Amino acid sequence: MKGSVIALDQFRGREAAALMVDGQLDDLLIADDRALAPETICRGKLGRPVKGMGGAFVDLPGGESGFLRQIKGLRPGVDLLVQVGAASEADKALPLSTRLLFKSRYAILTPEAPGLNISRSIADDDLRAELSALAQTGMAGAAEDLGLILRSACETAAPDEIAEDIARMRALAEAVLADHRGAPEVLVDAPAPHLAAWRDWASPDTLDDTPGSFARQNVHEAIDALLTPDVPLPGGGQMIIEATRALIAVDVNTGRDTSPAAGLKANIAALRDLPRQLRLRGLGGQVLIDFAPFPKKERQVIEQVMRAAFRRDGRDVTLAGWTPLGNFEITRKRDRIPLAGLLG
């Protein structure tokens, strides 16, 4: 099926949203039943700095504990506002940040990051001028350190919708920022999958939001495939993705193809799909790729394909380079809870 479809449904009793592009699962959101999911904004109490770790633990609501690295100028015992960052392992403290983001479909409010900014993807000069005027009007009288970003979705939105979104997010940000003293408390919940899909995914060709949408759009089969390490590649090759506590291991095989270019073809096919696989599986940290055999002189081709694939994905990724044994190392920001752990 050509085109994009957003399916809103339930999966194993949890609220879920799926983005299908040309019949392939491109993004997936499944509700996290933990009270402090990524993006939650809460008030916490700072503990004492931990020697050798460059930060301090923070007491959070519900007896939870988080870890904050940006503690310069902060005193132990002080109340502070923090946002839960990328997912951590079950036995580790939640990563926290004091750089809060109040995000909606059209507007992002950025405390302590002043300025009025418009998405670079909006190129039309007249539209940028109109959006700039909306931003100035919507932020008139706001605190000097409260910034605003207008997102790419503004390109097709009506001016009154954008203005309403700016006003709503500004009111939320100002209310939270004024509520920074007191016992640990959740102030803004993480968005549920259906809300996050509306907020972050561009308008699809089709919206299927009635019960059974996952079955109609073949989402169940796509999720089942993500829960196995094997990823079939075009031409009969195979990519195996396995997560350990230390790193994510990626092994590329040629399968039955014994032609001279089999290794290069399998490696290119694997790299083009790897960013999507890591995103959907919720995997991050250190990634080690063991490529199928290929001539060393083709390393430049492999690197070009890799850079292009991860650039399109738009995630925070560092291509570290080749190891002495001929593997390739990548670091990818942990921005989601691993799918296997979420559904386990």
Q: Are residues 146 and 257 in the same domain?
A: no
Provide the b/e sequence for 186-200 (b: ≥16 CB within 10 Å).
bbbebbbbbbbbbeb
To the nearest 10°, the Cα dihedral for 166, 29, 82, 154? Answer: -20
Please check whether residues 45 and 173 belong to one and the same domain. Answer: yes
Query: Does 197 fall in a domain?
Result: no
Q: Are residues 94 and 166 in the same domain?
A: yes
- Torsion from C-alpha of 330, 335, 337, 338, nearest 10 degrees: -20
Angle between helices 125-138 and 159-177 (to 10 degrees): 40
CA 2 – CA 4 distance, rounded (Å): 7
63 and 178 assigned to the same domain: yes
Domain final residue, candidates 191, 214, 238: 191
Q: Do 164 and 286 have their domain in common?
A: no
Measured distance between the N- and C-terminal CA atoms of the chain, rounded to whole angstroms: 31
CATH number for the domain harbouring residue 99: 2.40.50.140
Query: What CATH number corresponds to the domain at position 272?
Result: 3.40.630
Of 164, 191, 218, the residue that ends a domain is: 191
The label of the residue with tokens 């809460």 reads: 42
HSE toward the beta carbon, residue 320, CA cutoff 13 A = 14
Where residue 318 falls (left for φ over 0; alpha for ψ -120 to 50; beta otherwise) is beta
Domain boundary among 191, 217, 250: 191
CB 134 within 8 A of CB 164: no
Structure tokens at 306: 């890799």
Q: What is the pLDDT along the chain (344 residues), one digit of tens a residue?
A: 689 999 999 999 999 999 999 999 999 999 988 778 889 999 999 998 988 788 999 999 999 999 998 888 889 999 999 999 876 666 678 999 999 999 999 999 999 999 999 999 999 999 999 999 999 999 999 999 999 999 999 999 999 999 999 999 999 999 999 999 999 999 999 999 999 999 999 888 999 999 999 999 999 999 999 999 999 999 889 999 999 988 999 999 998 888 888 999 999 999 999 999 999 999 999 999 999 999 999 999 999 999 999 998 888 899 999 999 999 999 998 888 899 888 87
Tell me the per-residue pLDDT of 9-42, one tens digit each, with 9 for 90 and over: 999 999 999 999 999 999 999 998 877 888 999 9
12 within some domain:
no
Considering the domain architecture, whether residues 288 and 182 belong to the same structural domain is answered as no
Same domain? For 88 and 171 the reply is yes
Residue 272: C-alpha distances to residues 31, 75, 277, 278, 309 (Å): 28, 47, 10, 12, 5
Written as one letter, the residue type at 121 is S
Q: Could you read off the pLDDT of 140-163 as tens digits, one per residue?
A: 999 999 999 999 999 999 999 999
Distance between CA atoms of 251 and 22, rounded to whole angstroms?
27
| 38 and 184 co-located in one domain | yes
**Residues 278, 329: one domain?**
yes
* Residues 187, 232 share a domain: no
Let me know if residue 335 belongs to a domain: yes
> Would you say residue 319 lies in a domain?
yes
Query: Of all helices (H) and strands (E), which one includes residue 96?
Result: strand 94-97
DSSP 140: T
Residue 270 burial class via C-beta count within 10 angstroms: exposed 0-12, middle 13-18, buried 19 and up:
buried
| Residue 145 falls inside a structural domain | yes
Domain boundaries, position 159? 32-191
Classify residue 54: in a domain, yes or no: yes
| Element spanning 170, H or E | helix 159-177
Give, in order, the Cα–Cα distances in Å from 262 to each of 245, 296, 322, 341.
32, 14, 21, 34
In a domain, residue 214? The reply is no
Please count the structural domains in the chain: 2
Burial class (CB in 10 A: 0-12, 13-18, 19+), 237: buried
Query: Does one domain contain both 235 and 186?
Result: no
pLDDT digits (tens, 9 = 90+) for 89-123: 666 789 999 999 999 999 999 999 999 999 999 99
The pTM score is: 0.89
Examine the domain organization and report whether 175 and 266 are in the same domain.
no
Residue 9 forms part of a structural domain: no
Q: Find out whether 184 and 60 touch, Cβ atoms under 8 Å.
A: yes
Closest Cα partner for 175 from 102, 236, 244? 102
